[in-house]
Amino acid sequence: MKISELFDRGEFVVTAEVGPPKGFHLEGVIEEAKTYLSGITAVNVTDNQSSVMRMGSLATCKLLKDAGLTPIYQLTCRDRNRIALESDLLSAAAFGIENILCLTGDHTKLGDHPGAKPVFDLDSVSLLHTVRLLESGKDLGGNDLVGEPPKFAAGAVVSPCSDSVDAQLAKMERKVMAGADYFQTQAVFEPDKFIEFMEKAKQFGKPVQLGVIIPKGAAMARYMNNNVAGVHVPDDMLAELAADKERAKAGITGVEIAARVIKACRPYCQGVHIMALGWEKHIPALLEQAGI
């Protein structure tokens, strides 16, 4: 099932993110996904997120699909050249994986193998172009594919709360021109900035999923402010997380904050993408409090 078809029908699409383990035993991830994510539309599978080596996104997507879930294959350009990226896209099509998210990827120096050589043969825009070229029956070398070409719902990311809104709009436009079907945003904690961005982004006519994180505490929020581009947790939310550490530790405060953000932004987006960061167990409560 392509999520682009759901957007076309006007459905409010809810997705959530899971990270493969640092190992090949996936039973726990699958069980958690079946328990807490079975009621959502699709499950994003990260691709060596933050440049930390983990089990591959493609294999994880295949096993989640076999378990009855709809995966979204996140594919970054950091670790593969164009040959490997095209090959993995064809492999995804062979496995019946129809939804992908195209990302440039974090630099290797930020992860657990800082000496690894980054590739970046393509970036997210040229990867989107590659997807559309494969769908036409050609590869980047101009060669014909054998048999019926693949078909994907190809997504991209945008940071609506970035300091430079115009730069983000320009990036979004390039991704639309390269063939993006939908967008998932970086985490939003400032609804006013998101709404302002969406008023300008609606010119592109593409569905946008609001990105939300359930903050685990004030320390995590301050870390994001200092280290994650395009994310800012306002002072009032920091104070709320710090006011009762036990409520924050239990996830109660974070769920309340994320639910408020969703409620404020819902009229301006076409879906929600939840980055639970290991707190998948709180997603059902979040959706309930958000009225989804």
Q: What pLDDT sits at residue 120? A: 96
Q: What pLDDT sits at residue 279? A: 87
Q: Using CA atoms, how far apart are residues 263 and 265, in angstroms rounded to an integer?
A: 6
Beta strands 13-18 and 42-45: pairing type?
A: parallel
Q: Using CA atoms, how far apart are residues 25 and 11, in angstroms rounded to an integer?
A: 34
Beta strands 182-187 and 71-76: pairing type?
A: unpaired
- The total domain count for the chain is 1
Are 190 and 232 in contact, with CB atoms under 8 Å apart? yes
Q: What pLDDT sits at residue 123? A: 97
Q: What pLDDT sits at residue 228? A: 84
Q: What pLDDT sits at residue 160? A: 93
Q: What pLDDT sits at residue 162? A: 87
Mean pLDDT of successive 10-residue stretches along the chain, which has 292 residues? 94 95 93 89 94 96 96 97 98 98 93 94 98 98 97 97 91 97 96 95 96 90 86 89 86 93 97 91 93 92
* Helix H or strand E segment including 158: strand 153-158
Domain that holds residue 196: 3-290
Q: Using CA atoms, how far apart are residues 16 and 71, in angstroms rounded to an integer?
A: 10
- Beta bridge partners, 212, equal 274
Token digits of residue 280: 């998948």
Reduced to 3 states (helix: H, G, I; strand: E, B; else coil), residue 90 is helix
Q: Give the residue among 105, 101, 104, 33 at the shortest CA–CA distance from 63.
A: 33
Token digits of residue 13: 């699409």
* Helix H or strand E segment including 168: helix 165-178
Are 69 and 44 in contact, with CB atoms under 8 Å apart? no
Instruction: For residue 218, give the CATH number of its domain.
Output: 3.20.20.220
**Residues whose CB falls within 8 Å of the CB of residue 34, separated by 6 or more in sequence, listed in order:** 67, 68, 69
Instruction: Give me the phi and psi of 73, to 5 degrees please.
Output: -85, 110
Reduced to 3 states (helix: H, G, I; strand: E, B; else coil), residue 260 is helix
In Å, what is the CA distance from 76 to each residue of 30, 56, 111, 167? Answer: 22, 11, 14, 21
